Amino acid sequence: MRDLWGNPVVRRGEYFVFHDESIPNKRWLLIGLSFVKKVDIDHVRAALRTAREKEGGYSGEIHFSKLPKSFDGAYGAKARVARRWMQAFENGLAESLNFSCLAVDRHSPAYEHRRFTREFHAYNRFTAMALKAGIAWHIHPEDFDQLNMEFVSDVKDRTTRPDRGLIDNFEDYLPYRAELDSFLAQLSGRYFPAVKLTMQLQDSAEEDLLQFTDLILGAIQMALVAASSRPVKRKLGEFVPGFYRDLQQPPWGQRYGLHRRFNLWRFPDEEGRPSNHVPLNLQIDTDQIPLF
C-alpha cells in the first residue's frame, strides 16, 4: 500500500493474546487463545465486568474446574457469571474477542511421539502452531504488514507446577518461534505480517480475559470429552456444539456470526494434516444423537 505521494505505507496492528491450555486425558492437549485488538481491550473488559455487576458485583475468580454444581443461590453466582460470559460471546462479544482452540490429537497415528522427547517440546511447539494459525485465520483479513502482540499467560500455572523443569523455556521459545514463523512464511512468498511478540505473565485472578480464556477452553474440553456430570459444566459445554456447527456454515448462513471469530481445529488427523473435524462427545439431550 502507498500514500498519495507514492510512498510505502506500513500497516501496523497491535493485539493482546490471552493463553491457556488444558490436558483432559492422555489423548488431547488443548491450546486456547483469545485475540483482542489493543484498541478494543477496554471495551471487552467492560463487557466482562458488566456480567459481574449483574450478579451483585461478584468478584471471585472464574475457573472452569472450580465451578459449583448449581447456578442457584449465593454460591452459584460464580456459575452465573460464567454463563453470562458465554452468552456475551455468542451475542456479539466475538466481534471484539476472537477465540481459537487447537486440539492436539496424541492418539492420531500421524502424531510424531519420537519428535517430542520431552513434554515441554510438544507444549511449546503446539502453542506456537496455534498462534501462527490464529494469526492467519483471525487477523489475516486486516492485511497488516507488522503485528505487535502482547502474549499473556497465567503466572500461577508457570510457577506452581511440580513439573516446572519439564515445561520451560516457554517464555524464551515462543517470541523466537513466532518471529521465525512469520519470517519463513514471508520467505516462501505467502502473505504473513512481520510479528513482534512480547511475553507477559500475569496472575489470572487479576485479569478477566485470562479467566474468560480458561472458561471457554473448559467448555470446549467438556464438549470434547464429556468427563464431568456436574450440571453447570455440562450446560456451559452445551454452548460449544452450537459454535462449532456455526463454523460448518457459510458466513451468510451462520446463526452466531462466528466466521473468523471462533475456531476449533484438530492436529494431526490420520494423514498428518490439520482438520476441522473435531469429535465432540457431549450429548445435548436424550433425544439427540451423539455429535460426530
Task: Report whether pLDDT(251) > 70.
Answer: yes
Model confidence pLDDT, tens digit, residues 78-136: 999 999 999 999 999 999 999 999 999 999 999 998 888 878 889 999 999 999 999 99
Please tell me the predicted confidence (pLDDT) of residue 2: 55
Rounded to a whole number, what is the distance in angstroms from the first to the last CA of the chain?
A: 44
Neighbours of 35 (CB within 10 A): 22
Q: Which of 239, 142, 245 is nearest to 192 (CA)?
A: 142
Element (H, E) at 82: helix 77-90
Q: C-alpha grid cell for residue 257?
A: 456470526
Task: Report whether pLDDT(8) > 70.
Answer: no
Average pLDDT, integer, range 261-266: 96
Average pLDDT, integer, range 156-173: 62
Instruction: For the chain, give the percent of residues with pLDDT over 90.
Output: 74
Task: Report whether pLDDT(281) > 90.
Answer: yes
Please tell me the predicted confidence (pLDDT) of residue 7: 57
Question: Which residue type occupies 29?
Answer: L
Burial of 111 (0-12, 13-18, 19+ CB in 10 A): middle
Measured CA to CA, the distance from residue 234 to residue 201 in angstroms comes to 30
Beta strands 12-22; 28-37: pairing state: antiparallel
Confidence bin at 160 (pLDDT 50/70/90): very low
Measured CA to CA, the distance from residue 161 to residue 166 in angstroms comes to 10
Please tell me the predicted confidence (pLDDT) of residue 291: 45
For cell 456480567, the residue is 51
Does the global pTM surpass 0.75? yes
DSSP string, 146-163: EEEEEEEEEHHHHHH-TT
The β-bridge partners of 2 are 8
Give just the sign of the alpha carbon dihedral 63, 291, 258, 103.
Answer: positive
Beta strands 262-267; 97-105: pairing state: parallel
Task: Report whether pLDDT(4) > 80.
Answer: no
Tell me the Cα Rg of the chain.
19
| 51 contacts 85 by C-beta, under 8 angstroms | yes
Measured CA to CA, the distance from residue 251 to residue 241 in angstroms comes to 17
Model confidence pLDDT, tens digit, residues 49-61: 999 999 999 999 9
Counting every residue written for the chain, the total comes to 292
Please tell me the predicted confidence (pLDDT) of residue 84: 98
**48: helix, strand or coil:** helix
Task: Report whether pLDDT(162) > 50.
Answer: no
